[in-house]
Structure 1
Amino acid sequence: MDKNYPKKAIALKYDRATNSAPKVTAKGKGKVAQKIIDLARQHDIPVKDDPDLIEVLSSLEIDEEIPSEIYVAVAELLAFVYSMNSK
């Protein structure tokens, strides 16, 4: 990521039993983004760097479900997470 821009992070959660789509559970930039990333790593949650997806997701509010327009991108992210979890 270019050091001229503040680092951003978005955390998603998906529980198919209670949600129809993944939801934003945390978001931030700078020190807050780093804390989100650090917490994810401490809890063995995979972290993926995708600046384009982060830009789209950063426009969402906390507890907001992702819009259907980005289902494919988030599905690719979930596939990445599932593959990391299986290793």
Structure 2
Amino acid sequence: MDKPKSAVALRYQAEDAAPTLIAKGQGLVAEQIIARAREAGIFVHESKELVSLLMQLDLDQQIPPQLYQAVAEVLAWVYKIERGM
């Protein structure tokens, strides 16, 4: 049997020291997180490995320094897409 799909949502604003985990879930909750992001026009990036690591965090927790590089790469990807590059 396949493991249920997992999803997380991060928020990052310029004044924040690091991105913050604002939602996480598996199965139906994961599907709702993804659906709401898409409805809001937020790009969805799929990375099972990164999601697995972020699922270990508590809600409203900033990502740890060990994940800065991986999350920065995703944010750079989103920035390029939003700018139409």
Give the alignment's TM-score, normalised by structure 2: 0.95
Paired residues in the alignment total 84
Q: Which residue of 1 aligns with 2:32?
A: 35
Q: After the TM superposition, which segments of 4 or more aligned residues of structure 1 sit over 2 Å from their partners?
A: none
Cα-Cα RMSD: 1.0
Q: Which residue of 1 aligns with 2:7?
A: 9
Structure 1 residue 44: Cα displacement: 0.6
1:83 aligns with 2:47: no
- SS of equivalent residue, structure 2 residue 70: helix
Structure 2 residue ranges without an equivalent (≥5): none
- SS of equivalent residue, structure 2 residue 21: strand
Give the alignment's TM-score, normalised by structure 1: 0.93
Q: Summarize the alignment of residues 57-68 of structure 1 with structure 2, pairs less than 5 Å apart.
A: 57-68=54-65
